[in-house]
Every structure is written in structure tokens, then in C-alpha cells.
């Protein structure tokens, strides 16, 4: 990208930063260089790590420009404390995104996305809102849909990149895309992990050094399920997994094995249908989630 400045846009070395929607919209619509080029979009809540940069790289592997957003959406936090403690380091994020070669960053305020006085719409999420994350975080996916519908309508990207780490979120957003009849290709990007297997997450920074060591038990447990469960009734396997996690110091919200396409429960698995094991558990006050495909 060349260097451009304009009202509401701040030039960094290569990446263009937008703080308001109308500037971003005008830029996307009017900039001749962009016309004809494809755009890939990577939405985030900041506190970026290598998992996020893997999404940026996946976007760069497609032809076109990569647009990232950083927006800590207050409406997708069902737990106020989790929102207040969500790590924020925008300066560092900007440098990291620029180093990763991101073309544009959208950094809106809460008021920009959710103007005061405007009531929030309700989405028909169906079954996915009643299970796992939907069940344990009431209102979470409404918040996700509210922000994603605004971002996707504004940016109108050709490609959207989201992490398998948030498996259920990928299904919810795919469903939203089809409900809104948006012409965007969805890409699920595999989970980036630390050497001990822990899925990278912004929340990991809130773990104490001791908890950080304990935290690897989630991915170890998922790996055990994947290696040991060959089919049939998942209940005994889940029972053992639950015990292992609790022994490792976790307070488990759920451990489940479900159909990968819609997260419906698998009462008796034939070993062929695409299946996924999912865990959400607390270490102290920090809630961690992870999942692994079983086949």
C-alpha cells in the first residue's frame, strides 16, 4: 500500500488506520487501487498473539488486501468482570499488525459500532445458542452477531478468516452470513498452540506462572480423547476426561463430543461422521476454551 493520509485516518509506516466507519467505507468504495482487488477480513478483540497473525497470514495467502479490526465488544461479554479484565495494549497490537503486513486496521470506538440510543437487534441463532458456549454464556452469541453483522456489512469483504479455536463461533458466524445473504467466503483457520499444546489466547496472560503450567491439561485431555475414542457411546470417555481435568485443578463448564457440522450430540459415534471434542473450564478466574477434531 502507498502512504495516504486523510481525515480520521492516521498514517503509520505501511498500514492505514481508520477510526470511523464512514472514512473506511469511503476509502473502500473510492480508492481506485482497491477496486478490482479482493479483500480479506480478520476481526479481533486485540491483545494480539500468533494465533491472530496466523489469520492475517491466511488472508495474505489469498490475493488482495488484508483488513483487520480491533474491537472489544462489550455486548459479547456475559461476565462484566471478564470484560473489565480483558487485556488491552493497542500500541503493541498496531506494531504487531504492521509487522505482519496488514494493509488496513479498523479501530472503532464502542459508539461508532453501537451508536447510543439505537436499540440492538436480536438474531435467530437457534440450537447453537442453547448449547456449550451458548448455554454457559447467555447473550454471548447475540453480541457476536450484532458486531459481526455491522463489521461485515461495512467492510463487505470477499474473504473472512476466523479461528477454529472458537469452533462454535465459526458455526454461528457461518449461519449469520447465510441469514444475511452476504457474499463472503468463510475460512476456518487451525488453532495455533504453544509448545506444550495450550491454545494461544489473550486470556492466557491472566494465568499465574503455576496456572500457566496446569493449563496445558486441556489440550492434553483433548488429545487423549482424540487418540482413545474410536466410536460408540462417548459418555465413559467424557467421564474420564472430566476427572482428569478436575484433578489438574480445573473447574469444568463442559466437556463434550459433538457433530462437527452443527454441534448436535453424538449418542453413538460411528467413527466416520466428522466429530469434535470441546472443553470449557476455569483455572481460578480465567475461563479457557479449546477443541479438537476427532477425525
Cα–Cα nearest to 100, from 181, 42, 27, 26: 42
End-to-end, the C-alpha distance of the chain in Å comes to 41
Q: Which three cell numbers stand for residue 143?
A: 453480541
- Shortest Cβ 87–ligand AMP spacing (Å): 10
C-beta separation of 225 from 241 below 8 A: yes
Q: Which residues sit at the interface with ligand AMP, rule CB under 6 A? A: 44-45, 51-52, 54-55, 162-163, 165-166, 189, 191-192, 199-202
When the beta carbons of 157 and 163 are compared against ligand AMP, the nearer one is 163
CB of 31 to ligand AMP, least distance (A): 26
- In angstroms, the CA 194 to CA 281 distance is 18
The minimum distance between CB 163 and ligand AMP, in angstroms, equals 2
Closest distance to ligand AMP from the beta carbon of 55 (Å)? 5
Residue for cell digits 463487505?
A: 156
Per the residue annotation, which of 10, 49, 52, 159 is the catalytic one? Answer: 52
Q: How far is the CB of 155 from ligand AMP (least distance, A)?
A: 15
Of 52 and 206, the one with the shorter C-beta distance to ligand AMP is: 52
**Neighbour count for residue 104 (Cβ, 10 Å):** 23
Residue of 262, 255, 265 lying closest to 290 (CA atoms): 255
Measured from the CB atom, the residue of 41 and 229 that comes closer to ligand AMP is: 41
Say whether 52 is catalytic: yes
Name the residue nearer to ligand AMP (CB basis): 47 or 225: 47
Compare residues 21 and 219 and give the one whose CB is closer to ligand AMP.
219
Catalytically active residues, by annotation = 52
Amino acid at each position: 500500500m502507498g502512504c495516504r493520509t486523510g481525515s480520521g485516518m492516521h498514517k503509520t509506516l505501511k498500514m492505514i488506520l481508520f477510526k470511523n466507519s464512514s472514512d473506511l467505507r469511503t476509502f473502500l468504495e473510492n480508492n481506485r487501487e482497491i477496486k478490482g482487488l479482493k479483500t480479506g477480513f480478520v476481526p479481533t478483540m486485540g491483545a494480539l498473539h500468533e494465533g491472530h497473525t496466523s489469520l492475517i497470514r491466511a488472508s495474505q495467502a489469498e490475493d488482495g488486501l488484508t483488513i483487520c479490526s480491533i474491537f472489544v465488544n462489550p455486548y459479547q461479554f456475559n461476565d462484566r468482570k471478564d470484560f473489565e479484565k480483558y487485556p488491552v495494549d493497542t500500541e503493541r497490537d498496531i506494531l504487531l499488525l504492521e509487522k505482519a503486513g496488514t494493509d488496513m486496521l479498523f479501530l472503532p470506538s464502542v459508539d461508532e459500532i453501537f451508536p447510543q440510543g439505537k436499540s440492538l437487534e436480536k438474531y435467530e441463532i437457534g440450537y447453537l445458542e442453547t448449547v456449550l458456549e451458548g448455554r454457559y454464556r447467555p447473550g454471548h452469541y447475540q453480541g457476536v452477531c450484532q458486531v459481526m453483522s455491522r463489521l461485515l456489512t461495512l467492510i463487505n469483504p470477499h474473504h473472512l478468516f476466523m479461528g477454529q479455536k472458537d469452533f462454535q463461533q465459526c458455526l454461528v458466524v457461518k449461519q449469520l452470513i447465510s441469514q444475511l445473504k452476504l457474499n463472503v467466503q468463510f475460512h476456518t483457520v487451525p488453532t495455533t498452540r504453544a509448545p506444550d499444546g495450550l491454545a494461544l489466547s489473550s486470556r492466557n496472560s491472566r494465568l499465574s506462572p503455576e496456572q500457566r503450567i496446569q493449563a496445558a491439561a486441556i489440550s492434553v485431555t483433548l488429545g487423549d480423547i482424540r487418540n482413545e475414542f474410536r466410536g460408540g457411546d462417548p459418555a465413559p470417555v467424557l467421564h474420564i476426561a472430566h476427572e482428569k481435568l478436575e484433578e489438574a485443578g480445573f473447574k469444568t463448564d463442559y466437556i463434550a463430543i459433538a457433530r462437527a457440522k452443527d454441534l448436535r450430540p453424538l449418542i453413538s459415534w460411528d467413527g466416520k461422521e466428522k466429530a469434535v471434542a470441546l472443553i470449557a473450564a476455569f483455572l481460578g478466574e480465567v475461563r479457557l476454551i479449546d477443541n479438537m477434531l476427532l477425525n
